[in-house]
Amino acid sequence: MLKKNTLGAHNSRILFWVQFFASASFLQPVITLFYMQNGLTEKEIFWLIMCWSGAVLLSEVPTGIYADKFGPKISFMTGALVKILSLALLLGADIPALLFLSSFLSGCSVTFFSGADEALLYESLKKSGDENKMDRVMGRISSATFITSLVTVFVGAFLAKDLTEGQFELLIYLGMVAFLFVFILSAFIIEPKVEISYRENAFSHVKEGFHVIKKTPELFLMFMNLTLVFIPAAAVFQNFDQPLLLNAGISVVGIGIVYSIAAIIGFFATHRLDWLLDRISGLKLFFITGLAAGVSLLIISQLGDKSLVVILCFLVLRFVSAIRYPIYSQIQNDLIPSHVRATTISLLSVLDSICDLIIFGSLSGIAVFGLSPIFMVCGIIAILASFIPIRKAKESIKNNLAV
């Protein structure tokens, strides 16, 4: 698919394995149950998510500048260390404040990768003359998430089947080892040389990033379509799917099996995204998947006690989450100049965090009424978001690239 022995091919391989180990979250299939076991209510879990989003909001731009200034290699290695620290704090989870601090540091760690990974990949592909394959390469890299999830979610659910403190601690230690591998692998990244005339002036990066967003409305609309579907269909749903599955009569080990099936579907969807894109345009897929996510959430809100219905909707939502971002990534990076790529993507992530806080804050107010109204509101948001107009983006992109 890519030219052999090129910078793009090398860094895409490294990013694949970085993604592989970064996705090895053995705690993920029982994370919400872990929080509940440590005394958190549904409302407090929303506060925990908001803490994570707040961390992203505060650190996204500084870490984007950090990545533009020091390079993605140092950014990734720093992020891995911060993540290891956040996991270590979970070992004292009997103190609620440590859960919130861990969530805050986890949010910070993500921002060291956010923007920097796409900037690295796009610039590497550009040096190799393969930048038009960004969506397909992102799909392949994203498939790493589902390969590792196929194993770790089942193993995690099996090891924590009794939901004891010792079982949870084992899963946390395994996660720390995985991010140690992320740290080591990041050292093998080869950074492409990008001419940046004002590399020492961090505020120039931010100013130029705002200018890029302001001058490309198609980028903003595409982003809003992406994030307003992602927040309810992934960020919210993935934090409450475990109690949902339990309430539908599925055991903890059964949750691991369902997660593994979702990982298989996600792997094939991202690994063969090029096959899908050859038959359906990215913009059409964006609309169809957004609508499917919203409808699935509405169905769950009404039939959340039906195990088969819940499982089918769960799998649809995981499929949607898997393929939307790689499509968006190609369009986004085609529109952003090289010298402020990481910073501009970070600015968009700040906007994403603001949307997170607004939606999470609103949903926390209805969390006391149970899961059903949460999923109903999420479904309505996703359906409305899928109709955000992005059809003119394709022509705009052509004109932009022709300049």
Q: What is the CATH classification number for the domain harbouring 259?
A: 1.20.1250.20
pLDDT of res. 401 = 36
Residue 200 CA, distance from chain mean position: 30
How many C-beta atoms lie closer than 10 Å to residue 97's C-beta?
Answer: 9
| Mean pLDDT, contiguous 10-residue spans, the chain (403 residues) | 73 89 87 86 86 85 78 90 94 82 92 78 79 72 78 87 88 94 93 54 62 74 87 88 90 88 82 78 83 95 91 92 78 65 72 86 84 92 89 45 38
Whether residue 2 lies inside any domain: the answer is: no
Q: How many domains does the chain have?
A: 1
394 contacts 283 by C-beta, under 8 angstroms? yes
218 contacts 393 by C-beta, under 8 angstroms? yes
Q: How far apart are CA 378 and CA 367, in angstroms?
A: 12
pLDDT of res. 403 = 40
Whether residue 365 lies inside any domain: the answer is: yes
Query: Side chain identity at 121, as an amino acid letter?
Result: L
pTM for the full predicted model = 0.68
Whether residue 59 lies inside any domain: the answer is: yes
Q: Tokens 């993604």 correspond to what residue?
A: 19
Whether residue 102 lies inside any domain: the answer is: yes
Residues contacting 312, CB < 8 A, separation 6+: none
pLDDT of res. 131 = 65
Query: Of the candidates 143, 171, 177, which has an alpha carbon nearest to the alpha carbon of residue 17?
Result: 143
Packing angle of the helix pair 165-186, 72-89 (nearest 10 deg): 170
Q: How far apart are CA 270 and CA 395, in angstroms?
A: 25
Query: Of the candidates 126, 168, 118, 164, which has an alpha carbon nearest to the alpha carbon of residue 142?
Result: 118
Whether residue 375 lies inside any domain: the answer is: yes
**What is the gyration radius of the CA atoms in the chain, in angstroms?**
20
Whether residue 215 lies inside any domain: the answer is: yes
Which range of residues forms the domain containing residue 340?
8-186+208-402
CB neighbour burial string for 363-383, b if at least 16 within 10 angstroms, e if fewer: bbebbeeebbebbbbbbebbb
Sign of CA pseudo-dihedral 39, 42, 44, 46: positive
Whether residue 16 lies inside any domain: the answer is: yes
Whether residue 1 lies inside any domain: the answer is: no
